[in-house]
Structure 1
Amino acid sequence: MAETLSDRKIFSLLEVTKSIQKTLSERYKNSFWVKAEMNKLNYYRQSGHCYPELVEKQNGKIIAQIKSCLWKDDYLRADSKFRAVLKEPLKDGIKILFLARITFDPSHGLSLSILDIDPSYTLGDLEREKQETIQRLREEGIFERNKALKLPALPQRVAIISVETSKGLADFTKVIETNPWHYKFFGFLFPSLLQGDKAVASISYQLKRIKKVKDHFDVVAIIRGGGGDVGLSCYNNYALAKEIAMFPLPVITGIGHATNETVTEMISFYNAITPTKLAEYLLQTFHNFSVPVKEAEKKIHDLSRRIISQENKRFQSEIKLFRSVTENILAINKNDIRSLAKSVLQSANYIFKNRRDGLVSVKASLTRATNTFCKAKKFEIRQVANNIPKDVNAQMVDFQITLSQLNHRLQFHTLQLFRSKTAELNNLEKNINNMSPENVLKRGYSITLHNGKSIRNVADMSEGDLLETLVAGGKIVSTVKSSSKKENE
């Protein structure tokens, strides 16, 4: 009951909340359908209940929000419908159409109690987002842009966007690495989330990384395993689709078994329904290149064999013709050859006979000339032998006279050189004695030392330094009081 205090009627908080509860229960007796975005499911595994956060957004801003509850049995029923229709469970961040009634509890406040959820509405919302993305891309003229790129004849270097543990990636890699034709590929994984709200940012980030090193790749492959349409909703996102459409390399996709094609699949260079089919597509590009090459190789081989065979036959025919012509020519000219051979033999005998007679005559002449030459030289040698003793004696006398003269000259020049060098040494010794420190000091000079070393520059001295001055007969010890440099310095 309300209390009266100072003429004021006062209610307790419980009374107010119970009044609100009564009013709302009388006003909102029936359930009704509501559309909203389920910002967060808030599923509690221990109890099995959910407490979804429901919001409505306008231009990205929340304009309405309310708490709700989804009891265990209702949650299991709704989740089962979603799995049957969308192949995905209830999850955060999707738009839903739900049957609810308003409830108010004095302890927990106002909330909506969700009784049922229609999965067809969520599916329709995804389709609506897809059509809006397609329209924007077509209006911007980039819907077919990636498809217009040219795929290399042998796309060996593949930048792969996928989850490292994805079964789809494993299937793709197995087909590529175990192909029976031994085609060689280089694949580099850029790991990324492939579904959910964060997938758009994750895939876009990896595309930007690949763009920086695009010269190292021929094609980009986005690979994902199977999944329902809700799991694929991120591939209808405009920002992601535009990034793929504008990408400088061909982008090929194999993102699941869904029959409802996403925008990303539509605008990509090539789309395969599964990662396995995507791998087979890459292998087929190698087939398209290798099959014509092998056919050309076969044609070249067959043509070469045919040409060689034809040329061999022609060569054998030429040999036969040459042999036949040669035999005919030899037969025709056989008698002429015999006659010429006989004539050549007779001529050779006649020439040999004449040459032999000439050689005999030449031999006799050479013998006579040799005897005459030897007799003349023998006489000359005797005359030379008789004159040798006289010439040798005369030359020996001349040589002894010359040798005696050279000996006298050598003795004279040696004596002169010795006297000259002796005088130089005496002068040098006198100069050394004059320049010795003792003789210098005797002439009135002195030497000043600092720390045992002679002073060469006044700039090296400081006030208070101890000096030793060497003079003839002893040394003087002094202390520096001041120093000055020459003015011209």
Structure 2
Amino acid sequence: MQTFSLFDLNEYIRRVIALNFTDAIWITAEINQVGSSRGHYYLDLIQKDEKSDQIIAQAQAAIWSSQYRFLVKKYPDILDNLLQDGTEVRLKIKVDFNERYGLKLIIEDLDAQYTYGQAALKRLRVIETLQREGLIGKNKQVSLPPVVQYIAMISSSTAAGFQDFLNHLGENPYGYRFHVTLFSAAMQGINTEREVSEALEQIAERRDEFDAVCIVRGGGSKLDLAAFDSEALGRKVAWFPLPVLIGIGHDIDQTILDLVGHSSLKTPTAVADLIIDHNARFEGLAEEMANRITLLIRQRLQLESRNLFAIRHDLHRVIKVPILRAQHQLEHYQELRSTLMKSYFREFNLKLDRMEEQLNWKNPLFLMEKGYAWVFTGGKPVHSVREVSPGDEITSYLKDGQVTSTVTDVKTRKP
């Protein structure tokens, strides 16, 4: 069996490849990693099994600096977004094999429409999955509080959209005050999904401090929004315990986050307007309710005032008859009392006269006025002739003096 040197083998492989791949061909692959040096770009291309997601093919590719300048002119706004880790690409390549450096794919062109189409297809698959699980619009079930004042913001501190949001909130015509806490995250590029996810986790741990979450960024290309089509990020927003307001700067296409979030707005300032208008509606409702309560109280007071007047009138009418009757009875009693008092005093005076007459008859002085005398002997009144004897000395008291006598004879009156 013939033995080949390594160089001979590689030279043979080079000739076979050169013979079979005389022209450039189009291939599809996923960019696993991108690096650059001296204006040249080096791509690690892979292909994954659709079922197991395992890598089944891998190759190194290069864009030389001259070709990169050509591609920049062809895709001035989107080339950097196309050349991102995880992007599905369709590339026009020349197959090159070098005896020392091995196989390398030299990129001559790329198909941006394919990448957009693959991203859209992937997005549709994610949407179908989330729909089956009932997660589309899931976060809408988390109600905004009546007043949104404490806001957790996920954005880049240098993003124009973030500054626009802050300025718009601060310049609201109602004078509302807001407290915005920034959780900084990349808004484009390979770190976006991871940093936004980490920011959501930090906010979830402090959920009691906030009324709502806002994710905002300025405008950009469709591929700039690729991270916001992440299934994992969509799930996290769908199940988030706070309402998540999305304003990531696009006019037509909606990302997965737009579909699962509480509210989807085109721009950061539109998100600010939603919050301001929400608070203004609550203030209007509160004022309307206060006015209605005031009106109801006024109407109730008027009604009760009328009722009180009617009750007072009825009470006066109801009470007046018994009062008049009582007044008549009182006057009757007063007249009766006067009559009874006069009769009583008249009878009483008669009794007094009789008593006075009786007393007078018992009064020695009164009897003395009539010519009677009060007789004493030995300092004691004499009630009978048997109480004196001849020779006793007696004293007779008259109205104007006394007489002392000596008893010479005592005669007893026969009954």
Q: Tell me the TM-score normalized by structure 2.
A: 0.66
1: CA distance between counterparts of 2:80 and 2:57? 30
**What is the match of residue 99 of structure 2?**
106
1: CA distance between counterparts of 2:73 and 2:54? 31
| Alpha carbons of structure 1 residues 10 and 210: separation in structure 2 relative to 1, 3 Å | closer
Q: Is the 8 A contact 1:98 1:114 kept in 2?
A: yes
**What is the match of residue 122 of structure 1?**
115
Matched, 1:57 2:23: no
Within 5 A, what are the aligned runs for 1:45-194? 46=38, 48-58=39-49, 59-84=52-77, 88=81, 90-194=83-187
2: CA distance between counterparts of 1:269 and 1:290? 22
- In the TM superposition, residue 156 of structure 1 has moved relative to its aligned partner by 1.1
Matched, 1:41 2:34: yes
**What is the match of residue 188 of structure 2?**
195
Q: Is the 8 A contact 1:80 1:89 kept in 2?
A: no
Q: Secondary structure at the match of 2:241?
A: coil
Q: Is the 8 A contact 1:79 1:89 kept in 2?
A: no
2: CA distance between counterparts of 1:112 and 1:138? 40
1: CA distance between counterparts of 2:295 and 2:111? 69
2: CA distance between counterparts of 1:13 and 1:90? 35
2: CA distance between counterparts of 1:191 and 1:204? 11
Per-residue CA shift, 1:282-326, capped at 9, x if unaligned? 000012112344456677889999999xxxxxxxxxxxxxxxxxx
| Alpha carbons of structure 1 residues 159 and 40: separation in structure 2 relative to 1, 3 Å | same
Within 5 A, what are the aligned runs for 1:246-395? 246-295=239-288
Alignment root-mean-square deviation, CA: 3.0
Q: Secondary structure at the match of 1:51?
A: strand
Tell me which of the two structures has the higher relative contact order, counting C-alpha pairs closer than 8 angstroms and 6 or more residues apart: 2
Within 5 A, what are the aligned runs for 1:379-458? none
- In the TM superposition, residue 103 of structure 1 has moved relative to its aligned partner by 1.1
**What is the match of residue 230 of structure 2?**
237
Q: Secondary structure at the match of 1:111?
A: strand
1: CA distance between counterparts of 2:147 and 2:159? 26
Opposite residue 34 of structure 2, the aligned amino acid is L
**What is the match of residue 215 of structure 1?**
208
Opposite residue 140 of structure 1, the aligned amino acid is E
**What is the match of residue 225 of structure 1?**
218
| Alpha carbons of structure 1 residues 261 and 86: separation in structure 2 relative to 1, 3 Å | farther
Q: Is the 8 A contact 1:214 1:249 kept in 2?
A: yes
| Alpha carbons of structure 1 residues 191 and 86: separation in structure 2 relative to 1, 3 Å | same
Stretches of structure 2 that go unaligned for 5 or more consecutive residues are 302-415
**What is the match of residue 337 of structure 2?**
none
**What is the match of residue 383 of structure 2?**
none
1: CA distance between counterparts of 2:125 and 2:72? 28
- In the TM superposition, residue 12 of structure 1 has moved relative to its aligned partner by 5.0
2: CA distance between counterparts of 1:81 and 1:302? 70
Q: Is the 8 A contact 1:82 1:89 kept in 2?
A: no
| Alpha carbons of structure 1 residues 9 and 145: separation in structure 2 relative to 1, 3 Å | closer
Query: More deviation in 264-273 or 87-96?
Result: 87-96
Query: More deviation in 189-198 or 150-159?
Result: 189-198
Stretches of structure 1 that go unaligned for 5 or more consecutive residues are 1-7, 309-489
| Alpha carbons of structure 1 residues 215 and 139: separation in structure 2 relative to 1, 3 Å | same
**What is the match of residue 393 of structure 2?**
none
1: CA distance between counterparts of 2:62 and 2:80? 24
Q: Is the 8 A contact 1:85 1:120 kept in 2?
A: no
**What is the match of residue 486 of structure 1?**
none
| Alpha carbons of structure 1 residues 156 and 174: separation in structure 2 relative to 1, 3 Å | same
Opposite residue 96 of structure 1, the aligned amino acid is V
- In the TM superposition, residue 11 of structure 1 has moved relative to its aligned partner by 5.3
Q: Secondary structure at the match of 1:22?
A: helix
Per-residue CA shift, 1:171-203, capped at 9, x if unaligned? 111111121211121211122222233222222
Q: Secondary structure at the match of 1:50?
A: strand
Q: Is the 8 A contact 1:82 1:88 kept in 2?
A: no
Q: Secondary structure at the match of 2:40?
A: coil
Match of 1:25 among 18, 23, 42: 18
2: CA distance between counterparts of 1:300 and 1:14? 95
Q: Secondary structure at the match of 1:197?
A: coil
Per-residue CA shift, 1:5-39, capped at 9, x if unaligned? xxx97655444433322222112212221000122
- In the TM superposition, residue 80 of structure 1 has moved relative to its aligned partner by 4.0
| Alpha carbons of structure 1 residues 87 and 269: separation in structure 2 relative to 1, 3 Å | farther
1: CA distance between counterparts of 2:47 and 2:170? 49
Opposite residue 165 of structure 1, the aligned amino acid is T
**What is the match of residue 204 of structure 1?**
197
Q: Secondary structure at the match of 1:52?
A: strand
**% same residue:** 31
1: CA distance between counterparts of 2:41 and 2:258? 35
| Alpha carbons of structure 1 residues 175 and 87: separation in structure 2 relative to 1, 3 Å | farther
Opposite residue 241 of structure 1, the aligned amino acid is G
The count of corresponding residues between Structure 1 and Structure 2 is: 302
